[in-house]
Chains A and B, each alone.
Chain A
Amino acid sequence: MSHPIEKHEAVSPGKKNELLKNLSVILPRHAILYLPEDLHVYECDGLSAYRQTPLLVVLPESTLQVQQVMKICKHLAIPVVARGAGTGLSGGALPLGNAVLLSLAKLSNIIEIDVANRTACVEPGVRNLAISEAAKPCGLYYAPDPSSQIACSIGGNVAENAGGVHCLKYGLTVNNILKLKMVTTDGDLITIGSNALDSPGYDLLALMTGSEGMLGIIVEITVKLLPIAESAQVLLASFNEIPQAGNAVAAIIGAGIIPAGLEMMDKLAIKAAEDFVHAGYPTDANAILLCELDGNSEEVSEKISEVENIMLEHGACDVRIAQNEQERELFWKGRKAAFPAVGRLAPDYYCMDGTIPRHRLSEVLQTIETLSREYGLPVANVFHAGDGNLHPLILYDANKPGELEKTEELGGKILEFCVEVGGTITGEHGVGIEKINQMCVQFTSTELQQFHAIKHAFDPDRLLNPGKAVPTLHRCAELGAMHVHNGELPFPELPRF
Chain B
Amino acid sequence: MTDNLTESIQEQVKDAYYSSRALKIMGNSTKEFLGHPVSGEPLEISGHTGIVNYEPTELVITARSGTTLNQIEQALNENNQMLAFEPPHFGEDATLGGAIACGLSGPGRARFGAVRDFVLGTRIINGQGDLLHFGGEVMKNVAGYDLSRLQAGAMGTLGVLLEVSLKVLPKEDYTRTQVLDVSKQSAFEKMCQCTELPASATAYVDDRLYIRLSGSENTINSISTKIGGELLDNDAAFWLNVREHQHPFFRESNSLWRLSVPPATPPIDLPGQWLIEWNGAQRWLNTDANAKHIRTIIEPLGGHATCYHSPLHSKEDEHEIFHPLPEPLMKLHHRLKYAMDPNGIFNPGKMYPGL
Q: Tell whether, in the assembled complex, residue A295 and residue B281 are in contact, meaning their CB atoms are under 8 Å apart.
A: no
* A423 within 8 A of partner (CB): yes
Q: When chains A and B are docked, how far (Å) is the Cα of A334 from the Cα of B194?
A: 35
Known: A203-B152, A296-B215. A457 touches B264 (CB 8 A): no
Q: When chains A and B are docked, how far (Å) is the Cα of A427 from the Cα of B137?
A: 12
Q: What interface size band does chain A fall in?
A: 35 or more
Q: Which residues of B contact A359 (CB under 8 A)?
A: 55, 57-58
Q: When chains A and B are docked, how far (Å) is the Cα of A444 from the Cα of B223?
A: 52
Q: Which residues of B contact A387 (CB under 8 A)?
A: 138-140
* B142 within 8 A of partner (CB): yes
Q: Tell whether, in the assembled complex, residue B114 and residue A256 are in contact, meaning their CB atoms are under 8 Å apart.
A: no
Q: Tell whether, in the assembled complex, residue B58 and residue A424 are in contact, meaning their CB atoms are under 8 Å apart.
A: no
Write out, one digit per residue, whether chain A residues 124-141 have a CB within 8 A of any chain B CB (1) or not (0).
000000000000000000
Q: When chains A and B are docked, how far (Å) is the Cα of A216 from the Cα of B336?
A: 14
Q: Tell whether, in the assembled complex, residue A207 and residue B196 are in contact, meaning their CB atoms are under 8 Å apart.
A: no
A117 to chain B, nearest CB (A): 5
Identify which of residues 399-437 in chain A touch chain B, using a CB-to-CB cut-off of 8 Å: 422-431, 435
* A309 within 8 A of partner (CB): no
Q: Which residues of B contact A175 (CB under 8 A)?
A: 113, 117
Write out, one digit per residue, whether chain A residues 345-359 have a CB within 8 A of any chain B CB (1) or not (0).
000000000011111
Q: CB within 8 A of A203: which of B58, B116, B219?
A: B116
* A198 within 8 A of partner (CB): yes
* B236 within 8 A of partner (CB): no
Identify which of residues 74-129 in chain A touch chain B, using a CB-to-CB cut-off of 8 Å: 114, 116-119
Known: A175-B117, A200-B306, A299-B219. A424 touches B132 (CB 8 A): no
Known: A117-B263, A257-B170, A450-B126. A384 touches B140 (CB 8 A): yes
B215 to chain A, nearest CB (A): 6
B296 to chain A, nearest CB (A): 16
Q: When chains A and B are docked, how far (Å) is the Cα of A226 from the Cα of B195?
A: 8
Q: Which residues of A contact B218 (CB under 8 A)?
A: 298-299, 302
Write out, one digit per residue, whether chain B residues 256-280 have a CB within 8 A of any chain A CB (1) or not (0).
0000111110000000000000100
Q: Tell whether, in the assembled complex, residue A355 and residue B140 are in contact, meaning their CB atoms are under 8 Å apart.
A: yes
B148 to chain A, nearest CB (A): 8
Q: Which residues of A contact B338 (CB under 8 A)?
A: 457
Q: Tell whether, in the assembled complex, residue B143 and residue A439 are in contact, meaning their CB atoms are under 8 Å apart.
A: yes
Q: Tell whether, in the assembled complex, residue A203 and residue B303 are in contact, meaning their CB atoms are under 8 Å apart.
A: no
Q: Tell whether, in the assembled complex, residue A116 and residue B140 are in contact, meaning their CB atoms are under 8 Å apart.
A: no
Q: CB within 8 A of B80: which of A256, A303, A427?
A: A256
Q: Which residues of B contact A356 (CB under 8 A)?
A: 138
Q: When chains A and B are docked, how far (Å) is the Cα of A358 from the Cα of B56?
A: 11
Q: Tell whether, in the assembled complex, residue A450 and residue B138 are in contact, meaning their CB atoms are under 8 Å apart.
A: no
Q: When chains A and B are docked, how far (Å) is the Cα of A386 from the Cα of B140?
A: 11
Q: Tell whether, in the assembled complex, residue A357 and residue B192 are in contact, meaning their CB atoms are under 8 Å apart.
A: no
* B205 within 8 A of partner (CB): no
Q: Tell whether, in the assembled complex, residue B219 and residue A298 are in contact, meaning their CB atoms are under 8 Å apart.
A: yes
* A32 within 8 A of partner (CB): no
Q: Which residues of A contact B332 (CB under 8 A)?
A: 184, 190, 204, 457-458
Q: Which residues of B contact A70 (CB under 8 A)?
A: none
Q: Which residues of B contact A458 (CB under 8 A)?
A: 332, 335
Identify which of residues 167-193 in chain A touch chain B, using a CB-to-CB cut-off of 8 Å: 167-168, 171-172, 174-175, 184, 188, 190-192
Q: What interface size band does chain B fall in?
A: 35 or more
Q: Tell whether, in the assembled complex, residue A253 and residue B144 are in contact, meaning their CB atoms are under 8 Å apart.
A: no
Write out, one digit per residue, whether chain A residues 368-408 have a CB within 8 A of any chain B CB (1) or not (0).
00000000000000001011110000000000000000000
* B61 within 8 A of partner (CB): no
* A199 within 8 A of partner (CB): yes
Q: Tell whether, in the assembled complex, residue B198 and residue A424 are in contact, meaning their CB atoms are under 8 Å apart.
A: no
Q: Tell whether, in the assembled complex, residue A357 and residue B138 are in contact, meaning their CB atoms are under 8 Å apart.
A: yes
Q: Tell whether, in the assembled complex, residue A201 and residue B144 are in contact, meaning their CB atoms are under 8 Å apart.
A: no
* A456 within 8 A of partner (CB): yes
Q: When chains A and B are docked, how far (Å) is the Cα of A320 from the Cα of B116?
A: 38
Q: When chains A and B are docked, how far (Å) is the Cα of A446 from the Cα of B125?
A: 11
Q: Which residues of A contact B154 (CB under 8 A)?
A: 202-203
Q: When chains A and B are docked, how far (Å) is the Cα of A49 from the Cα of B323?
A: 49
Q: Tell whether, in the assembled complex, residue B147 and residue A250 are in contact, meaning their CB atoms are under 8 Å apart.
A: no
* A209 within 8 A of partner (CB): yes
Our count of residue pairs bridging A and B at CB distance below 8 angstroms stands at: 246
Known: A191-B329, A450-B340. A117 touches B264 (CB 8 A): yes
Q: CB within 8 A of A117: which of B57, B198, B262?
A: B262
Q: CB within 8 A of A428: which of B140, B153, B264?
A: B140
Known: A296-B198, A357-B138, A450-B147. A196 touches B281 (CB 8 A): yes
Q: Tell whether, in the assembled complex, residue A428 and residue B143 are in contact, meaning their CB atoms are under 8 Å apart.
A: no
Write out, one digit per residue, whether chain A residues 198-230 have a CB within 8 A of any chain B CB (1) or not (0).
111111101101110001000000000011000
Q: When chains A and B are docked, how far (Å) is the Cα of A256 from the Cα of B59?
A: 10
Q: Tell whether, in the assembled complex, residue A195 and residue B262 are in contact, meaning their CB atoms are under 8 Å apart.
A: yes
Q: When chains A and B are docked, how far (Å) is the Cα of A298 from the Cα of B220?
A: 10
* A240 within 8 A of partner (CB): no
Q: Tell whether, in the assembled complex, residue B216 and residue A302 are in contact, meaning their CB atoms are under 8 Å apart.
A: yes
Q: When chains A and B are docked, how far (Å) is the Cα of A236 from the Cα of B149?
A: 35
Q: Tell whether, in the assembled complex, residue A298 and residue B114 are in contact, meaning their CB atoms are under 8 Å apart.
A: no
Q: Which residues of B contact A153 (CB under 8 A)?
A: none
Which of the listed residues B144, B170, B219 has the most CB atoms from chain A within 10 Å of its own CB? Answer: B144
Q: Tell whether, in the assembled complex, residue B147 and residue A194 are in contact, meaning their CB atoms are under 8 Å apart.
A: no
Q: When chains A and B are docked, how far (Å) is the Cα of A210 from the Cα of B139?
A: 14
* A197 within 8 A of partner (CB): yes
Q: CB within 8 A of B132: which of A191, A209, A258, A446?
A: A446
Q: Tell whether, in the assembled complex, residue B140 and residue A196 are in contact, meaning their CB atoms are under 8 Å apart.
A: no
Q: Which residues of B contact A439 (CB under 8 A)?
A: 143-144
Q: When chains A and B are docked, how far (Å) is the Cα of A424 from the Cα of B196?
A: 35
Write out, one digit per residue, whether chain A residues 297-339 have a CB within 8 A of any chain B CB (1) or not (0).
0110011000000000000000000000000000000000000
- Nearest-neighbor residue (CB-CB) of B328 within chain A: A190
Q: Tell whether, in the assembled complex, residue B143 and residue A435 are in contact, meaning their CB atoms are under 8 Å apart.
A: yes
* A443 within 8 A of partner (CB): yes
- Nearest-neighbor residue (CB-CB) of B335 within chain A: A457
Q: Tell whether, in the assembled complex, residue A258 and residue B260 are in contact, meaning their CB atoms are under 8 Å apart.
A: no
Q: Which residues of B contact A184 (CB under 8 A)?
A: 328, 332
B132 to chain A, nearest CB (A): 5
Identify which of residues 249-300 in chain A touch chain B, using a CB-to-CB cut-off of 8 Å: 250-251, 253-254, 256-258, 295-296, 298-299
- Nearest-neighbor residue (CB-CB) of A226 within chain B: B195
Write out, one digit per residue, whether chain B residues 183-200 have a CB within 8 A of any chain A CB (1) or not (0).
000000000100110100
A370 to chain B, nearest CB (A): 23
* B238 within 8 A of partner (CB): no
* A453 within 8 A of partner (CB): yes
Q: When chains A and B are docked, how far (Å) is the Cα of A453 from the Cα of B342?
A: 10
Q: Tell whether, in the assembled complex, residue B146 and residue A174 are in contact, meaning their CB atoms are under 8 Å apart.
A: yes
A148 to chain B, nearest CB (A): 15
Q: Which residues of B contact A469 (CB under 8 A)?
A: 144
Q: Which residues of A contact B142 (CB under 8 A)?
A: 160-161, 210, 424, 426-431
Q: Tell whether, in the assembled complex, residue B116 and residue A206 are in contact, meaning their CB atoms are under 8 Å apart.
A: yes
- Nearest-neighbor residue (CB-CB) of B198 within chain A: A296
Give me 13 other A-B pairs in contact (C-beta within 8 A), A191-B326, A298-B216 excluded.
A116-B192, A161-B146, A203-B149, A207-B150, A302-B218, A424-B138, A427-B142, A430-B142, A431-B143, A443-B144, A447-B133, A447-B144, A454-B145
Can you spell out 9 A-B residue pairs with CB atoms less than 8 angstroms apart?
A118-B195, A174-B146, A430-B142, A435-B143, A442-B143, A447-B133, A447-B134, A451-B145, A454-B339
When A and B form their complex, which 5 residue pairs have the shortest distance between CB atoms, in order from nearest? A256-B170, A206-B149, A116-B264, A387-B139, A427-B140
